């Protein structure tokens, strides 16, 4: 069955991904597409989806900037319902002859919008509703074809609609939770304006992903990198159901795994539909990282080596395809959008060498968020232990040892990591955390052991709460838990002088240190 879908045109706004999430949460499939997508490309979606509307996202540029992202005007003639948000709102106003100017006063943060006409996407909103604003250009006038629906003290036209077409513009950000009636706006747009049915469920998505894999790979063979994390495990099950014995699931032990991790992963898949092959590649990874300190260089090298191992294994098995568990935020943070800037290259994405010996790389989860993957995994019947596993970066502990990676340092960070997570488990806190781990810093510090001065390593502990890793808050772990962890680490791990706790949120920090 083709499900209803709304496409989000990405004008580079930091909240763009939230728009797609809000739509999917309402049971309507949504995908983010480049802002300059052609009308023809939109039609191509029709093979698998019923495109019912489009949303134009916000963006960092002024519509008058030299590189201001544009829209293909033919799209606006497709008679599809359109909702422009922030930059999208200004763009629509300008295209249809309105006046958009730099504001006398920038609007940023919480503002009250006064709803003059509670109709269309604003139906059911209070007369005075709290909204989140973040803009400098402002719409001061719209052409005769439009009518004004709302204003604020600084934006005389904070929302408008076309009199004849299903076209709306809103200056604020309904996708941000600070906007109190944002949900209602999406509800109105999807179900009143676009006439969507809430017929997208992650469960029904599984079969579509399996069918797509069958279609792309056919009778040929594929390999998958299975780390035992939720993403690769889910994609491995999809792969096994699509390809049966033509899929080889390979766990590359790059030597940057946590304590007993390889054995645990093997145990988790014992007797399952996946026949897991383990490759011991510890030596070659460590050799290649000798003398490398730059985090991006580490990621790139690990990514390259990973692919080499895979190419070798694939050749042995005559596999032409590589299946990967890349998910949506990996792509966003690696800078997949034309306009969003790169934060760090996740090794399973941007670290891939340009030329690969595979006929193709397939990423079935590339449009899903972590919580959606968890839902999918549950529905596919994966073990609870896998479904609830914390995310772990592809380059593993190599990006949790700051600077030079050595066997000795890996051993230290492994032990500290195990102790922290044992204490978190004992305190029953694991369910509240997105991730909890230890980082071995490059700093040495003085301590005292027995009667003598000791000079040793500094371990940083990091525990964060998050919904999808795009933002995160440091966990307010009880002091007793931190104290027990610290005391055990300094006692049980050699060469340790000090334990510190990272109290930085994301942003401004990232979750991992490197
Ligand atoms: P950051 O550190 O960017 O991490 O806030 C966001 C989430 O992504 C994980 N992460 C990675 N995953 N390869 C991966 O597969 C990587 O290179 C990588 N770097 C970070 C991180 O653990 C967190 O969950």
Residue extents of the structural domains in the chain:
3-193, 202-387, 400-501
Give the model's pLDDT for residue 338. 41
Give the model's pLDDT for residue 335. 54
Bridge partners (DSSP) of residue 31 are 7
Question: What share of the chain has pLDDT > 70, as a percent?
Answer: 95
Give the model's pLDDT for residue 58. 95
Ligand 1 pocket test, candidate residues 235, 341, 346, most atoms within 8 A of CB: 346
pLDDT band at residue 105, thresholds of 50, 70 and 90? confident
pLDDT band at residue 333, thresholds of 50, 70 and 90? low
DSSP 466-482: -SSSSSBEE----HHHH
Contact 11, 58 (CB under 8 A): yes
Q: 27: helix, coil or strand? A: coil
- 47 pLDDT exceeds 90? no
> Rounded to whole angstroms, how far apart are CA atoms 403 and 387?
32
> Rounded to whole angstroms, how far apart are CA atoms 392 and 228?
10
Whether residue 46 lies in the annotated active site: no
Ligand 1 pocket test, candidate residues 335, 352, 469, 505, most atoms within 8 A of CB: 469
Give the model's pLDDT for residue 339. 45
- Provide mean pLDDT across the span 13-18: 85
Backbone φ and ψ of 414, nearest 5°: -60, -45
- 4 pLDDT exceeds 80? yes
Whether residue 86 lies in the annotated active site: yes
Whether residue 173 lies in the annotated active site: yes
Contact 444, 497 (CB under 8 A): yes
The answer, yes or no, to whether any atom of ligand 1 lies below 6 A from the CB of 333, is: yes
Neighbouring C-alpha atoms within 13 Å toward the C-beta of 283: 1
> Rounded to whole angstroms, how far apart are CA atoms 215 and 207?
12
| Residue 268 CB contacts under 8 Å (≥ 6 apart), including other chains | 228, 233, 383, 385, 386
State in Å, rounded, how far the first CA of the chain is from the last one. Answer: 43
Contact 129, 115 (CB under 8 A): yes
Q: How far is CA 463 from the centre of its chain?
A: 18
Surface-to-core class of residue 131, CB atoms within 10 Å of its CB (0-12 exposed, 13-18 middle, 19+ buried): buried
Asked if the domains 3-193 and 400-501 are classified in one and the same CATH topology, the answer is: no
CB atoms inside a 10 Å sphere around CB 325 = 26
H or E stretch at 386? helix 384-387
DSSP code for 137: E
CA 371, 377, 383 angle in degrees (round to 5)?
120
Cα 325 to ligand 1 centroid, rounded to whole Å? 13
β-pairing, 435-449 vs 452-465, is: antiparallel
Contact 494, 454 (CB under 8 A): no
The answer, yes or no, to whether any atom of ligand 1 lies below 6 A from the CB of 261, is: no
> Rounded to whole angstroms, how far apart are CA atoms 152 and 110?
11
Give the model's pLDDT for residue 334. 58
- 347 pLDDT exceeds 70? no
CA 278, 232, 308 angle in degrees (round to 5)?
55
CATH number for region 202-387: 3.40.50.620
CATH number for region 3-193: 3.40.50.880
Give the model's pLDDT for residue 14. 80
| Residue 269 CB contacts under 8 Å (≥ 6 apart), including other chains | 226, 228, 249, 276
Cα 230 to ligand 1 centroid, rounded to whole Å? 13
Nearest atom in ligand 1 to the alpha carbon of residue 231 is 15
pLDDT in tens, 253-296: 999 999 999 999 999 999 999 989 999 999 999 999 999 999 99
> Rounded to whole angstroms, how far apart are CA atoms 127 and 496?
61
400-501 topology per CATH: GMP Synthetase; Chain A, domain 3 (3.30.300)
pLDDT averaged over every residue in the chain? 92
Give the model's pLDDT for residue 349. 44
DSSP 31-65: EEEETT--HHHHHHHTTTEEEEEEEE---SS-TTS
pLDDT in tens, 414-447: 999 999 999 999 999 999 999 999 999 999 999 8
Which of left, alpha, beta for 175 (phi over 0: left; psi -120 to 50: alpha)?
alpha
> Rounded to whole angstroms, how far apart are CA atoms 219 and 37?
33
């Amino acid at each position: 069955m083709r499900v209803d879908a709304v496409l989000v045109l990405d004008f580079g706004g930091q909240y763009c991904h939230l728009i797609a999430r809000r739509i999917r949460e309402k049971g309507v499939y949504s995908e983010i597409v480049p802002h300059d997508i052609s009308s023809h490309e939109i039609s191509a979606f029709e093979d698998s989806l019923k495109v019912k509307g489009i949303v134009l996202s916000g963006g960092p540029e002024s519509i008058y900037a030299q590189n201001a992202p544009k829209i293909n005007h033919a799209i606006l003639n497709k008679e599809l319902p359109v909702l422009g948000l922030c930059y999208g709102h200004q763009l629509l106003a300008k295209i249809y002859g309105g006046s958009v100017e730099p504001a006398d006063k920038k609007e940023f943060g919480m503002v009250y919008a006064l709803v003059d006409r509670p109709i269309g996407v604003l139906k059911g909103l209070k007369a005075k509703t709290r909204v989140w604003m973040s803009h400098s250009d402002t719409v001061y006038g719209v052409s005769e074809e439009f009518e004004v629906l709302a204003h604020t003290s600084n934006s005389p036209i904070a929302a408008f609609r076309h009199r004849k077409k299903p076209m709306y513009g809103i200056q604020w950000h309904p996708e941000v939770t600070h906007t109190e009636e944002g949900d209602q706006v999406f509800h109105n747009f999807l179900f009143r304006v676009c006439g969507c049915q809430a017929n997208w469920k992650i469960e029904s998505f599984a079969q579509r992903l399996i069918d797509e894999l069958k279609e792309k790979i056919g009778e040929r063979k594929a390999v998958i990198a299975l780390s035992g994390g939720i993403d690769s495990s889910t994609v491995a099950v999809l792969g096994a159901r699509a390809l049966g014995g033509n899929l080889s699931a390979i766990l590359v032990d790059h030597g940057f795994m946590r304590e007993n991790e390889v054995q645990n992963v093997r145990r988790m898949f014992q007797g399952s539909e996946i026949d897991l092959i383990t490759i011991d590649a510890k030596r070659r990874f460590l050799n290649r990282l000798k003398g490398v300190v730059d985090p991006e260089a580490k990621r790139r090298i690990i990514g390259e080596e990973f692919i080499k191992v895979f190419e070798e294994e694939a050749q042995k098995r005559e596999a032409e395809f590589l299946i990967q568990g890349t998910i949506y935020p990996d792509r966003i943070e690696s800078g997949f959008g034309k306009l969003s800037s790169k934060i760090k290259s996740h090794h399973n994405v941007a670290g891939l060498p340009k030329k690969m010996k595979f006929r193709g790389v397939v990423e079935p989860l590339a449009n899903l968020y972590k919580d959606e993957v968890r839902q999918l995994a549950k529905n596919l019947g994966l073990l609870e232990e896998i479904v609830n596993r914390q995310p772990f970066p592809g380059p593993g502990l190599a990006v949790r040892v700051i600077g030079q990676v050595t066997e000795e340092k890996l051993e230290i960070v492994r032990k500290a990591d195990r102790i922290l997570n044992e204490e978190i488990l004992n305190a029953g806190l694991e369910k509240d955390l997105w991730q909890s781990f230890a980082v071995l810093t490059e700093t040495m510090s003085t301590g005292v052991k027995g009667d003598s001065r000791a000079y040793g390593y500094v371990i940083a502990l990091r525990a964060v709460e998050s919904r999808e890793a795009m933002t995160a808050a440091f966990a307010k772990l009880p002091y007793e838990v931190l104290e027990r962890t610290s005391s055990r680490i300094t006692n049980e791990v050699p060469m340790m002088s000090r334990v510190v706790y990272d109290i930085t949120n994301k942003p401004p920090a990232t979750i991992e240190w490197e």
